[in-house]
Structure 1
């Protein structure tokens, strides 16, 4: 069944507490701007409709391609609009530098300024649709969208993404700046085969406990399939900041999952959760544990970081 939205779902409102709505209200454009809330609703509705239409159809095999294409379209649009705004700013700087005090020059400068500010607002609008669609994508699938190229300036995901290297720099800055508060990090690595309902329940229980201990926590993981995708889905649902230490196989080859563990440890987590194998017996019949998860546990022990392996509940 296709989901539908009534016209009022995307209403325009003159009142808002958001910085985006304040920006659009200050532009002086006689036409109304959609509110931030309406843009977020639009992004979620577009993704929900896409997933609803292709679910349980032959297109399910290319769901990831279609979902990422929808998000990427708004990412590309935001970039194109931003480049237009940047060109308007270049004109502003030139006109300001060469300003001769004439009325014509003043009008031209005002028009360039208006184009730049309108471009900034439109860029932010496209980014909010993109991020809302990406949030819905993560919540529904456990997958995390990342731009193949270009930046993600101004992310508004409830589970805002950070690259591990960026977060590590913040940790280093914190050591030299006592006023800097980065918040606690909880690291997690789990087996790709640990994706059953029993695994999900155990992972969610553990992370819920961690959130109770550290309400301002961030979740750090590599984003690998299986258990770690379940953890990412939890972060999206809870609005917990997500730090991704992706395994770079191009740079590190087979050692990439273990180098990613080094990045997780460098974040100085308050604890490390590990799940070496699925808790469902049929998935872990061979008795082999997932090496990268075990390696993270070993590195946590060596660094004096609390390690909490997830195990089947005692009955």
Structure 2
């Protein structure tokens, strides 16, 4: 039986101290004050030793190297904890109830939790050393590589390149239409009540077939505006591939079709002319809608033409 070790801590526990005490380890963790004192003393000793000596000109490099050593140690321990976390996930997934599997699972859990606490401890030493360095020299330490998470002592420091990558990823997630895209193109003259009814029928069918669909269209007037109204009223995401006439001239509607197909739709719906004979009888079919149907067929994408009821 493991002997219990009395805790030297009194009063309410900090988050770190509570996490440390929850570990299955008879050995106590140093309290936060002791960790901070270690970082402060290590930096103070270094600066005092270098003062008024020939190495004073290099104190910035040496002081930052000391802080960086703690920073690197925290990152290394964190990588080890992450590997233990990966092992834990694998063991949970493949758990067969055996005693060996249970022992491995407990060991991976223990290594993961111990690593997380150790990372916090080393970061406290690093932050205290950085604070002592700042007080003594007026300089602000920043890592040569990587990021620093915010703590009670230091503000967060993030590399610009990593911040930009995170911003792009967040924006990409925000505008990701999802896995299922349904394309739609319709003639400008297809805006009668009869057209609207059949467009809505086609879109309702598509939504029943693919409940998590997003509607991709160019937003052109006529039938495509009706489709956008349907999407708004049904809470369906709309992806716009607008025709850029300034850039592509007369080819813009056809370039927009390429953008629609680049979204890899599961199906495209087309309405090349008004279904109302009084409106569409004297007008030619809408070329871009026909073009989308042709290109979709060439790519093997399902294409459904909106028609009158049989």
| Smaller-chain TM-score bracket | 0.3 to 0.5
Q: TM-score, normalised by structure 1?
A: 0.47
Q: Which has the greater radius of gyration?
A: 2
Q: TM-score, normalised by structure 2?
A: 0.47
